[in-house]
Structure 1
Amino acid sequence: MVVVLVVAAVVVVALGASAAWRFSRVRGSGARAMVRCLPADGIHGWRHGVLRYDGERLLFYKLRSLSFTHDMVVDRRVLECTGFRDVTGEEREFIPDDIAHVLEVKAPDGGLEFAADRRTEMGLVSWIESAPDARAERTDIRALAQRAQRETDR
């Protein structure tokens, strides 16, 4: 019986520490937003969280998660803004008043919807649209170095 209580106490302390760490590290380190994967019916699928930009990736941290890492990663080179839509009456019940539009984004594995305040929305659209083309050829530094080495050996 004592062992069960000790194990339960350790689990509760670990979950509390995880929640405190995530709250303190993630909550103030990005832009507040809501994300939903498409296709979705009605008002289902919306997740509150924080968006963080990491180079070519967008990291999404769910508000109600105990994970020590991000919950979703999206590469901006494969995203395409498809437009905006107004927040529906049903969504207005849980989406904050400072959010007027929902940004619709197309990705290879399905669509996404982002609901955020005006500044976050403009920043997200700018970040997506300024992405290099996915078809752009990347310079292979190793291949260049090998070619330069071959030319100097001649």
Structure 2
Amino acid sequence: MAKARGVGGTPATLALTAAGIAFEVRAYEHDPRATGYGLEAAEALGVEPARVFKTLLASLDPSTGSGQRARLVVGIVPVSGQLDLKALARTLGGSKAVMAEVAAAERATGYVAGGISPVGQKRTHPTVLDSSALDHDTILVSGGRRGFDLELAPRDLVAITCAVTATIGR
């Protein structure tokens, strides 16, 4: 996979290029009536859903007695499954996690729902990548807008997002 050059348009592609990380743009015609964005991407790109990952934000309540406030965290799981919020909370040392409100996720990342990329977000958030990603040479994640995915090595995604890997999908 060659490093994409001259690919502008999203903070994700700019961040990957600046970091020297190889990626491939995988664009498709997004159907505005679609609601399952990840499954739509897998079908449109002819990729098995287990290799296409969705980026979800959750609000993590800290452990009891820690004195910390709830914070937004990122979970990245295959589109063929769901995010296990208890596993996400456990992995990050919290007591529980709930899905973030869409508006809060969009504000915190700078991306629109259905196109939230784990790369190039406005703010850095603790990130967990489902360990199943490591079973593949490359995976696809949103590139920062609907109909625009990026294919890259999962270890490169871990490096650029400072993610940990754990079983957070079900």
TM-score by length of 2: 0.21
Point out which structure has higher relative CO (alpha carbons under 8 A, 6+ apart): 2
- From the CA coordinates, give the structure whose radius of gyration is larger: 1
More helix by share: 1
